[in-house]
Amino acid sequence: MALSEQERKLLEQLEASLMAEDPKLADTLSGNAEVRVHRRRAAFAGLGFIVGIAVLLGGVQFHPVVSVVGFLLMLASALVGISSWRRVGDDESGIGRNRPSAPRPTTDHASDFMERLEERWRRRQEGDDKG
């Protein structure tokens, strides 16, 4: 549902007064703090990946178990870094917040499945479906 021009102006005024009154709260509510957290987490994951490479190479010199630990550190860092970096992109683009996102394309199979579920739900609500 779209906002009217008057509602939009009122919302902008409320946002401006919130920024003036409590900028820290406004920053938290706008999601900027989350973006910083995910960026920082991705940066630390990158550093962890580099340390994992060093441990992996050092393990070749000392003991194979150390190399395995280095590899596991690299793997964990890569997983954390990738998920954090995706969240940075999602937070910056507004995905997952109250902003409308583009509808996802559905395949015929998925839409048929959803139509069958909706039909069963309608019948069940009407009391026709006993199964």
Burial environment of residue 44 by CB neighbours within 10 A (0 to 12, 13 to 18, 19 or more):
middle
pTM (2 d.p.): 0.47
4: in domain:
no
The boundaries of the domain holding residue 89 are 9-95
Return the structure tokens found at 43: 């940066």
Express each pLDDT in 59-112 by its tens digit.
988 888 999 999 999 999 999 888 888 877 665 555 544 444 555 555 566 778
103: in domain:
no
pLDDT at 94: 54
79: in domain:
yes
Of the ranges 19-28, 34-43, 49-58, the best mean pLDDT one: 49-58
Angle between helices 5-21 and 23-30 (to 10 degrees): 130
pLDDT at 125: 84
Pick 22 or 106 by higher pLDDT.
22
Count CB atoms within 10 A of the CB of residue 67: 17
**Distance separating the N- and C-terminal Cα atoms of the chain:** 37
pLDDT at 62: 87
* Rg of the chain in Å (alpha carbons): 25
31: in domain:
yes
45: in domain:
yes
The sign of the dihedral angle between the CA atoms of 36, 37, 42, 47 is positive
Pick 127 or 65 by higher pLDDT.
65
Q: Is the CB of residue 74 less than 8 Å from the CB of residue 49?
A: yes
